[in-house]
Chains A and B, each alone.
Chain A
Amino acid sequence: MINLRDPMARLSICLPGIAIVLLWELTTAGSTRRQFLFGSPSLVIKAATADFLAGDIILDLGTTALEAVLGLIVGSALGTAIGLLMWISPRIGRLSRPYITIIGAVPPFALAPMLIIWFGTGLLPKIVMAAFSVCLVSIVQAYEGAHNANVAHLQLAKGLGATRYQILTKIIFPNALVWVLAGFKLNIGFAMIGAFIGEFMVSERGIGHYILRAGGLYDTPRVVLGIILMAGVGLVLTAILVWFERMWFPWLPRGGDHTDRL
C-alpha cells in the first residue's frame, strides 16, 4: 500500500499528472489552432483566475456539489430501503426484480425532459436525477449485503435465541450497510453524472451549465476548467467519505495495493 505520508510516494503519484500538464502546455504553446482545439494549462489557469475573482464559478461549484450530495443521500437511502425490502419480503423481491431491471436499462439522460416537466427547472430535478442515478447501485448493494450475511453470524444469532426482528436489526442491516458504504464511492461518480445531466438539460447555475455555456462559445479552456472542477468536486466528496468512514466505521476493510499480498 502507498504511504501518503512519504514525500517520495506523494511525488510518485503527482509525477504522471505533472508530466501530462507539461506535455499539454508544450504541445499547445504558440499554436492558436491547437489552443482552440485542446486549450492549454496556462489558458485554463487564466480563465480560472478571472472566474474565481468574479465569484460566479464558486456559486456554480456549490450548486453542483449540493445537487450531487443531496442526490447521493436521497438515492442511497431510498435504494437501501428498497433493497432491504426486497430481501425481507421474497414476494416483493420477485415482483419488483423485473421492474428494477427495466429501470436500470433506462439511461438517466432519457428521464431528464420528464423530470423538468414534473419538477421545473430549479434544484429539484437535478437532485432527483442524481438520486435516480445512485438508487440502482444502492438497491443491488443493500440486497446483496443482506443476502450475503455471514451464515456463521446468522447461526450464532439463532443459537443465542435471537428473534427474527433482532436478526434483521443486529445482523442483516449492519451487514447490508457495509455493502452500501462500499458502493458509496462508486455512487459519488453516479451522483455527479446525474447532477451534471440535469444541469446540462436546463439550468441557470452549476458546473454543467458552466461547461454548456463555455462549449456554446467555443471557449475550450473554460470547458476544460469545468471538467477539472467536476473531477475536483468528486475528489473532495470521496475524501470526505473516506474521512467519514475512518471516523465512524473504523472496522471497515480498507482497500490497498493488491500487489503487496503477492
Chain B
Amino acid sequence: MPNETDGRFELRATGISKTFRSPDGASLRVLEDVSVRVASGETVCFLGSSGCGKTTLLNILAGLDGDYAGVVKNNIMSNRSLRIGYMPQSAALLPWRTVAANVRLGLEFMQVPKGAADARVQEALHEVGLEQFSSTYPMQLSGGMCQRAALARTLAVQPQLLVLDEPLAHLDFVSRRGLAIKVQQHVRNNGCAAIVATHSIEEAAVMATRVIVLRGRPARVETVLQVGDHHDAGETGIQVCKTVGELFDRITNAFGTAPEPSK
C-alpha cells in the first residue's frame, strides 16, 4: 500500500492485466499480472519486443487507459491530478505550432503564466539542444529533431512522473546516447520518477535504474534487473562505457536466454 514518505513520490501498480475486445466479441489478452513500483529518482525501463504490450502498460500507468484489471496508486494524489510528462511513441508535434509553441503546450494546459512558461521552454529546448530551432515548424525538422522537441515538451512541464514511450527511437547513435543520459540526469536532479518503454537494450542499459523484461503473450514480467545508478558524479567516460557495456551484457543475457512462455 503506498504511503506518504518524506515528500518522495512513489507509484505502485499491482497485478495489471489488460484484455482488448473487438466489436465481434473476440478478445485478446495482452498483459497478465504485471506489477511495478517506481519512486522519485528512479527510472524503470520496460524492455520487450515490438508489440508485446509496452505501450498499453504505459497508457495504463499514465492514466490514459482506465479499462484494466489491477490497481495503480501513488502516494501523493489521485492519478488524475498527478503531473505527468507523457511522450507518445510518435513525436506527435502539432504541425501548426512552432517548436517553441509545441514545447509550451503542456505548460498551457497547466495554465503556467507566460513569462515563467517562456523561461521553461527555453530551458527545455537548451536541454535537448534545439534552442536555435525554437521558431521552426515541425515540417522543417528531421525525425530525430522532432523526437528531441517532443522530449523537450515532456521535460518542460517539470513532471513528477515521466512516461516515455520509445523516446529515442528515431535518433542517431550519438544523440540517442546523449539524450538517454540527459533523461537519466533529469530524473536524478529533479527528483521525478520515470517509466520508459523501449525495445533497445542499450537504451535500457544507459537510462534505467531497474529493467523489467516483458515477454510472452499475454506479456508477463519475465525478469527484473536492479541496475542501480551507474552515472555517479566523478565517473569517467571510460568507466561509464564499461559499466554500460557490462549492463548491456547482463540485460542481453536476461532478455536473450529467457525462454518464450507457451501461448
Cα(A161)–Cα(B108), bound, Å: 10
Please encode chain B, from 92 to 113, with 1 for each CB lying within 8 Å of some chain A CB and 0 for all others: 1011100000000110111000
**Inter-chain contacts of B110 with A (CB < 8 A):** 161
Total inter-chain residue pairs, C-beta < 8 Å: 60
Cα(A56)–Cα(B170), bound, Å: 63
A174 touches B94 (CB 8 A): yes
Q: Tell me the A225-252 residues at the B interface (CB within 8 Å).
A: 249-251
Cα(A161)–Cα(B80), bound, Å: 8
Other contacts beyond A160-B109, A162-B109, A170-B94: 15, CB < 8 A: A152-B92, A155-B64, A156-B92, A157-B109, A158-B64, A159-B62, A159-B64, A159-B87, A160-B84, A160-B86, A161-B83, A161-B84, A170-B109, A178-B95, A178-B96
> B residues within 8 Å of A by Cβ?
59, 62, 64, 83-90, 92, 94-96, 105-106, 108-110, 137-139, 153, 157, 163
Q: Which residue of B lies closest to A150 (CB)?
A: B92
Tell me if A's interface is mostly helix, strand, loop or mixed. helix
Please encode chain A, from 122 to 153, with 1 for each CB lying within 8 Å of some chain B CB and 0 for all others: 00000000000000000000000000001011
Whether A166 is near chain B, meaning CB under 8 Å from some CB there, is yes
Whether A202 is near chain B, meaning CB under 8 Å from some CB there, is no
Assuming the contacts A152-B88, A155-B64, asked whether A161 and B109 have C-beta atoms less than 8 A apart, the reply is: yes
A153 touches B94 (CB 8 A): yes
Whether A88 is near chain B, meaning CB under 8 Å from some CB there, is no
Assuming the contacts A152-B88, A166-B109, A251-B139, asked whether A160 and B96 have C-beta atoms less than 8 A apart, the reply is: no
Whether A171 is near chain B, meaning CB under 8 Å from some CB there, is yes
**Inter-chain contacts of B89 with A (CB < 8 A):** 152
**Inter-chain contacts of B153 with A (CB < 8 A):** 160
Task: List 7 A–B pairs whose Cβ atoms lie within 8 Å, in order of A's numbering.
Answer: A156-B88, A160-B105, A163-B109, A166-B108, A174-B96, A177-B96, A251-B96
Report the minimum CB–CB distance from A179 to chain B (whole Å): 12
Q: Tell me the A20-70 residues at the B interface (CB within 8 Å).
A: none
Q: Which residue of B lies closest to A171 (CB)?
A: B94
**Inter-chain contacts of A156 with B (CB < 8 A):** 86, 88, 92, 105
**Inter-chain contacts of A162 with B (CB < 8 A):** 109
Report the minimum CB–CB distance from B28 to chain A (whole Å): 19
Cα(A150)–Cα(B108), bound, Å: 19
